[in-house]
Amino acid sequence: MTDLDYLKMSKGEKLVHNAGKWIASLPKKLLNSICAIAMFFVNLVKKFIAEIKDIVMTFVHGDWKTRVSFFIMGFGSFARGQWLRGLLFLLFQTVFNMYILFFGGAYLAKFATLGTIATTKVNRKTVYGDNSFMILLYGILTIFFIIAFIYTWRANVRQNKISQEILKSGKKLKYAKDDIASLADSQFHKTLLALPTLGIFTFTVLPIIFMILVAFTNYDATHQPPGKLFTWVGFDNFKTLFSSGSANYGDAFGQVLLWTLIWAFFATFLNYFLGMLVAIMINKKGIKLKKMWRTILVMTIAIPQFVSLLYVSKLFAADGLINSLLLKWGWIKEALPFWTKPSWARVTVIAVNIWIGIPYLMLIATGILMNIPADLYESARIDGANAVQTYGKITLPYMLFVTGPYLLTSFIGNINNFNVIYLLTQGKPDTLGNAAGATDLLITWLYSLTVDNSNFKIAACIGIIVFVVCAIINLVVYNLIPSVKNEEDFQ
Amino acid sequence: MKKLLAVVLCLMLALSVCGVAGAEAGFDGELKIWVAEAVVDFTNAQVEAFKAANPEYANMTVVIEAVGEGDAATNMITDVEAGADIYGFAQDQLARLVAAGALIELSEENAAIVSAENDGGSVAAATLGDLVYAYPLTSDNGYFLYYDKSVVTDPTNVEAILADCEKAGKNFYMEINSGWYQTAFFFGAGCTIEYGVDNEGNLVSCTCDYASENGVKALKSMIELSKSPAFVNGSSASNATNIGAIVDGTWDAVAMQEILGENYAATKLPTISGYQMGGFGGFKLLGVKPQVDDAKLAACDALALFLASGDAQKARYEAVQWGPSNLEAQKLEAIQDNAALAALAAQLEFCVGQGQYPNDYWSLATTLGDQIIADAYDNATDDELLAVLQNFQDTAASYIVK
Amino acid sequence: MAKENLIPEVDIVIDQEAGVIREIKPEPKLRSKKAHEKRVNGAIYAILIAMSVIWLLPFILLVLQSFRVEYGGQVAYVIPKQFGLDNFKFILTETNFPRWYGNTLIIALFNSVLQTVIVLSVSYALSRMRFRGRKLFMKSVLVLGMFPGFLTMIALYTLLKNLGLTQEGAIPGLILIYCASSGMGYYISKGFFDTIPKSLDESARIDGATRFQVFLKIIMPLSKPIVIYTILMAFMAPWGDYVFASYVAFGKSDSYNVAVGLYDWVNTNDFQGYFTRFCAGGVLVAIPITALFLMLQKYYVEGVTGGAVKG
């Protein structure tokens, strides 16, 4: 196919063509990425060997200060007058040793089995045995700590080598005063990022790794610490999750996953187009009180969702105000099953979500619409385009072009939109079995499995699935977006 | 932070060592109790009475926090360690709590006292296998019929109630998509569903005969009920706006009196399709969590026994109208005169003490109820209904393998 | 927002010969176009009015019910039979509501300060400085963001408990959780910093200013919209958190936030007839938040628009 053929195609055809090309190139890409991963490991091994070599050479060529530093971290820095660095190294080593000795070591030792001593009773007094939960959690923490220690120890060794070389070449070392000063300047990023990174590590990375590992254990209602032990079971939970049959989760899982994607689709695109439409209407010349309309719509953003959504959920209930009034006026004979019939409930949550979601899109679209160059519209008008054509040729492509990445994040966000579903329906009606309801997203199902059913192992598996789904969507879209971008290019 | 953890851990160790050393006579540490908000003040007063009666516990610190029965069970399961030492819960949570290691069985002496003094249903509800795990507090967690005297002329059968409600433009409320209320039909028609539980709280067997002629009869009466324009799914007074009649429990008695005013009336459940509706009898229980210290355990045992005693139950009825499980207390005149409790007592004879059910059972039952409400079975033949129930029964039985 | 006036509503041309601006009288054809325009505008007004009703009605109902004196459950009418402040009086004197309100306010205040400092620090570092691990940091945050947050709940709870920050300590505990991972939300403000020309930094650095001084004296004063946006978001978020807040408070009523306290009133059997009280509580929560939001709306719009455009 020539470039000319490509240029002749309509937008839809181009998209299909590009998508097809992308899918056709998948095997090659896959191969490439496998090669890349292999290369990565080869390089890693090479790097590792180089590091070891460097460490050994540092020891061999090092003076006594350097050599002592291999065992007492920071010694060399102290001996060379860099007391701040020395102190930090030494402090870290002390804390690390204490930690392993008094706390982490015991947990790490049991990490492979997650504990073997069962809880027993002496008369009626309870004597607790191993706590698998703590062993898992602090085992991971200890591994983190060990990795951090190795890294710091390596830095300590390198520090000695560098200092030794600097001194040999007759230059001056950096002392405490320089170090502190640099934290506000050349090393300012360390000051800025130290606490946030520590926070993310402790309160996000550690718990996530913990829960990923839980997916490979039998941690559930009948294996709950501190009274009971749990242990590693390999991929059993994933088998349960994917197989169908009443004792398994496969049927419910498939339906929840499908609904999650349908929901995310509507919640994202319906809101997107309606929000844009509202923005265009309000921005249309000749419409007065623009600010007032916007302010009214924005109310749903301003009022905390737990107030507005809880209220709305009661409003639509079988005996809520809407049904009661309709019945009283004789418009209906029987309460409308807003939350009780699966199909109704699904439509209702999407509708209520429009109520919540349009204002965001309206605000975003308003900002963007004002940035569309006025001369584009001018030339369209001269060409005799009507409103619909202007919209299709200019407004929509421009919006899509500018907000492409936003649509992606918003789609991912809707897959994880806990609040709207939980506050409105809590996932009900429960028609799918396995504690899953017709309006349950993967994330709300995960929540009820955790909180109401103590089924941590399956919940952890679902969490991993959510990640995989999000990652796949991200990868696919990122791979497609460049082509979309080229195509929509305005220049 | 890690150091802090280590210190905390050491401290805890040291404390537990001290605890063992200082065992035997009395206890003067801290005890935490979780009860529903409505009885916090009442429980406070009872604890003071307990201390006055038992000088060896006079120096004990008792902290009482308002945690509803549902939350108490969930919280205890989340974290036994931080949970209360004594807590109130609804009996359907018993197996879950035992399995999570959040309940200690009663001492033999206390078990004997409890078994002798409380009604059989409540004791059965507090028992797993052959161990009694909790102290019955009330025998009022069942459901019956409230109705508006000016609307419903004949509260003895559902057909008449529905006709009256339709005529008056009022509604008949019953939460048929709940595994709890649903048994009114199945048990009434002569079916059973029951799970056997071992001493540890694990489910070991399932007896269910829903896939039978009786089961189909029950299912058909539910479908018929759901077809009536006056029927609304739901059994919560504060969510019901147009009550002609409602199947609900004693916890809504005050709200119902307020809503219906002088037309307020309560009675046992009606008949439907010619059979008397049955259902679950429900109970509130008081549990003690496993303790690592003998002295504290003894204190918990003594206090829990006191709070669940006949005198305490009488006082509790007088304070907050909770219907007692204690046989002596049930004879109280005021209780005999209470319309809601009288209705409950009349219904009790058709009820089965609620045993232990896996969580999956509740969502399975909700699924069935939701399908009925969604009109999925409106035109089904008997054979199709039987197939639905067979599937229900098989699924219910399959929870045992897990 | 001024662009809407750029295109005048009547066509005007400059009459060269007369040297004055003359209004062209609409030709008949144009007049029909105008009528069409009018009809379109009328339709738009109708839609906007209908939308406004749908958007406002639930809130009006909420307010009406909060003033209802009679029975507090669901009823089948809109206008209360008797208006009064009973519900407000009740929740302010008879319940723990003032305490929950205070808790939430404290969390929100601390959160808005700490989270803003953290978010701005991270964004500045990522936008302005180039260092080893920068790409890694950004990629890791992207990957971590794809895990559902609730997955971490039980592990977080245990960590907090070991620090003594649950139950009685739930308030600082929640502040810690909210802030600890807030560095992951750098996206929007980094996008904003990226738009500030680097030449500003460079000239200041040539004059001898340190990075820290540049951050404080040059970037911050230019970043008022994004600072206010970040503060606003950090202040509003804690008011709606139910899941983590109830988990961490662990049955300790004194440590609840408003969402946890009020949620119980609607969804537990222990609180029959509390619906109008929930409405009253909801009104008390919504009024200050809404007022604040509407006041700072301009900055919010800048934030979300910037965030959406830069992705």
The answer to whether the bond into A226 is cis (omega within 30° of 0) is: yes
Beta-carbon separation of C52 and A443 below 8 A: no
CB contact at 8 A, A142 and A110 = no
Same domain, C106 and C81: no
Average predicted confidence (pLDDT) for chain C: 85
Buried b (16+ CB within 10 A) or exposed e, A171-189: eeeeeeeeeeebbeeebbb
List Cβ neighbours of A310 (8 Å cut-off, separation of 6 or more): A423, C262, C263, C266, C278, C282
Q: Using CA atoms, how far apart are residues A119 and A126, in angstroms rounded to an integer?
A: 7
Q: Is residue C31 part of a domain?
A: yes
Same domain, C37 and C184: no
Backbone φ and ψ of A362, nearest 5°: -60, -45
Confidence at residue A142, expressed as pLDDT on a 0 to 100 scale: 95
Beta-carbon separation of C41 and A308 below 8 A: no
Q: What is the DSSP string of A321-386?
A: HHHHHHHHTTS-SS---TTTSHHHHHHHHHHHHHHHHHHHHHHHHHHHHHHS-HHHHHHHHHTT--
Q: What is the pLDDT of residues A426-479, one digit of tens each?
A: 888 877 777 888 899 999 999 989 888 888 999 999 999 999 999 999 888 877
Same domain, C186 and C290: yes
Q: Is residue C14 part of a domain?
A: no
Beta-carbon separation of C272 and B254 below 8 A: yes
Which of A315, A317, A467 has the CB atom closest to C147's CB atom? A467
Inform me whether the pLDDT recorded for C24 exceeds 80. Answer: no
Inform me whether the pLDDT recorded for C26 exceeds 80. Answer: no
CA distance B75 to chain C (A): 6
Beta-carbon separation of B241 and C163 below 8 A: no
Q: What is the mean pLDDT of residues C139-144?
A: 90
ipTM of the complex: 0.85
**What is the DSSP pairing of strand B86-90 with strand B284-288?**
antiparallel
Q: Is residue C188 part of a domain?
A: yes
List Cβ neighbours of A141 (8 Å cut-off, separation of 6 or more): A104, A107, A206, B2
* CA B183 to chain centroid: 14
Q: Using CA atoms, how far apart are residues B395 and B389, in angstroms rounded to an integer?
A: 10
CA separation, residue A132 to residues A113, A138, A219, A227, B202 (Å): 9, 10, 9, 10, 20
CB contact at 8 A, A113 and A119 = no
Confidence at residue B72, expressed as pLDDT on a 0 to 100 scale: 87
Beta-carbon separation of A226 and B80 below 8 A: yes
Same domain, C180 and C63: no
- CATH of residue C95's domain is 1.10.3720.10
Which of B9, B102, B367 has the CB atom closest to A430's CB atom? B367
Residue C269 binned pLDDT confidence (cut-offs 50, 70, 90): low
Q: If contacts are CB pairs under 8 Å, which of residues 216-255 in chain C contact chain A? A: 236, 239-240, 242-243
List Cβ neighbours of A357 (8 Å cut-off, separation of 6 or more): A267, A271, A275
> Which fold would CATH assign to domain A250-487?
MetI-like fold (1.10.3720)
Beta-carbon separation of C74 and B65 below 8 A: no
Same domain, C173 and C285: yes
CA angle B148, B154, B155 (to 5 degrees): 65
Under-70 pLDDT residues of chain B:
1-25, 401-402
Beta-carbon separation of A227 and B80 below 8 A: yes
Amino acid at A16: V
* CA B240 to chain centroid: 22
Same domain, C83 and C103: no
Q: Is residue C144 part of a domain?
A: yes
Smallest CA–CA distance from C291 into chain A, residue: A302
Q: If contacts are CB pairs under 8 Å, which of residues 1-60 in chain A contact chain B? A: none
The encoded tokens of residue C268 equal: 């537990």
Q: Is residue C58 part of a domain?
A: yes
Given CB atoms, is B399 within the 8 Å cutoff of chain A? yes
Q: What is the pLDDT of residues A241-256, one digit of tens each?
A: 998 876 678 888 999 9
Beta-carbon separation of B359 and A435 below 8 A: yes
* CA B392 to chain centroid: 24
Q: Using CA atoms, how far apart are residues B280 and B347, in angstroms rounded to an integer?
A: 10
Beta-carbon separation of C253 and B65 below 8 A: yes
Secondary structure string (H, E, C) spanning B82-100: CCCCEEEEEHHHHHHHHHC
The encoded tokens of residue B251 equal: 């916890």
Q: Where are the alpha helices (DSSP H) in B134-279?
A: 158-168, 179-188, 213-227, 253-260
Closest Cα to residue B397, out of B186, B209, B189, B141? B209
Given CB atoms, is A197 within the 8 Å cutoff of chain C? yes
Q: Using CA atoms, how far apart are residues B267 and B146, in angstroms rounded to an integer?
A: 7
Q: Using CA atoms, how far apart are residues B222 and B212, in angstroms rounded to an integer?
A: 15
Same domain, C94 and C192: yes
Looking up tokens 């993310």 gives A200
CB contact at 8 A, A440 and C122 = no
Give the Cβ contact number of residue C42 at 10 Å. 10
List Cβ neighbours of A142 (8 Å cut-off, separation of 6 or more): A99, A100, A104, A105, A107, A108
Looking up tokens 């509706």 gives B277
Confidence at residue C22, expressed as pLDDT on a 0 to 100 scale: 45
β-strand partners of B111: none
Full-model pTM:
0.85
Beta-carbon separation of B9 and A103 below 8 A: yes
Q: Using CA atoms, how far apart are residues A79 and A83, in angstroms rounded to an integer?
A: 8
Is the four-CA dihedral A379, A384, A388, A393 of positive or negative sign? negative
Given CB atoms, is A353 within the 8 Å cutoff of chain C? no
CA separation, residue B346 to residues A248, B143, B156, B328, C31 (Å): 42, 11, 13, 18, 82
Amino acid at B183: T
**Chain A residues within 8 A of B366 when measuring between CB atoms:** 428-431
Beta-carbon separation of A319 and B239 below 8 A: yes
CA distance A94 to chain C (A): 21
Q: Is residue C10 part of a domain?
A: no
DSSP state at residue A232: B
B107 by Cβ neighbours in 10 Å (0-12 / 13-18 / 19+) ranks as middle
Which of the residues A94, A108, A246, A432 would you substitute to probe the B interface, choosing the one with the greatest number of B C-beta atoms within 10 Å? A246
Given CB atoms, is B293 within the 8 Å cutoff of chain A? yes
Which of C122, C215, C308 has the CB atom closest to A193's CB atom? C122
Give the Cβ contact number of residue C90 at 10 Å. 16
Under-70 pLDDT residues of chain A:
1-4, 6-7, 9-12, 15, 246-247, 481-491
DSSP state at residue A303: S
Q: Is residue C17 part of a domain?
A: no
Confidence at residue A461, expressed as pLDDT on a 0 to 100 scale: 95
Domains and CATH numbers, chain B: 28-140+283-347 (3.40.190.10), 143-280+358-398 (3.40.190.10)
CA distance A327 to chain C (A): 9
Q: Using CA atoms, how far apart are residues C95 and C254, in angstroms rounded to an integer?
A: 11
Q: Is residue C18 part of a domain?
A: no
Same domain, C76 and C115: no
Given CB atoms, is C287 within the 8 Å cutoff of chain A? no
Q: Using CA atoms, how far apart are residues B154 and B167, in angstroms rounded to an integer?
A: 13
Instruction: Give the A:C interface size as CB pairs under 8 Å.
Output: 270
CB contact at 8 A, A105 and A142 = yes
The encoded tokens of residue A303 equal: 């009022």
Q: Please name the helix (run of DSSP H) or strand (run of DSSP E) that holds residue A175, with its range, or none.
A: none
Range of the domain at C52: 26-87
Residue C28 binned pLDDT confidence (cut-offs 50, 70, 90): low
Given CB atoms, is B105 within the 8 Å cutoff of chain A? yes
Beta-carbon separation of C143 and A405 below 8 A: no
Inform me whether the pLDDT recorded for C191 exceeds 50. Answer: yes
Smallest CA–CA distance from B77 into chain A, residue: A454
Give the Cβ contact number of residue B350 at 10 Å. 17
Smallest CA–CA distance from C155 into chain B, residue: B78
Helix/strand/coil for A68: helix
> Could you give the number of structural domains in chain C?
2
Same domain, C101 and C63: no
Q: Using CA atoms, how far apart are residues B279 and B252, in angstroms rounded to an integer?
A: 18
**Chain A residues within 8 A of C243 when measuring between CB atoms:** 418, 422, 447
Strand blocks (E) in B301-388:
352-353
Q: Using CA atoms, how far apart are residues A436 and A258, in angstroms rounded to an integer?
A: 13
Confidence at residue B353, expressed as pLDDT on a 0 to 100 scale: 78
Looking up tokens 């079975």 gives B377
Q: What is the DSSP string of B140-161?
A: ---EEEEEETTT-S-TTBHHHH
Backbone φ and ψ of B82, nearest 5°: -85, -10
Helix/strand/coil for A369: helix
Helix/strand/coil for B241: coil
β-strand partners of B35: B66
Q: What is the pLDDT of residues C54-102, one digit of tens each?
A: 999 999 999 999 999 887 777 878 889 889 999 999 999 989 999 999 9
Given CB atoms, is B395 within the 8 Å cutoff of chain A? yes
Beta-carbon separation of C272 and B241 below 8 A: no
Residue C308 binned pLDDT confidence (cut-offs 50, 70, 90): low
Virtual torsion, Cα A435, A436, A440, A445, nearest 10 deg: 60
CB contact at 8 A, B193 and B399 = no
Given CB atoms, is B111 within the 8 Å cutoff of chain C? no
Helix/strand/coil for C12: strand
The encoded tokens of residue C259 equal: 């969402």
Q: What is the mean pLDDT of residues C24-32?
A: 58
Backbone φ and ψ of B146, nearest 5°: -100, 145
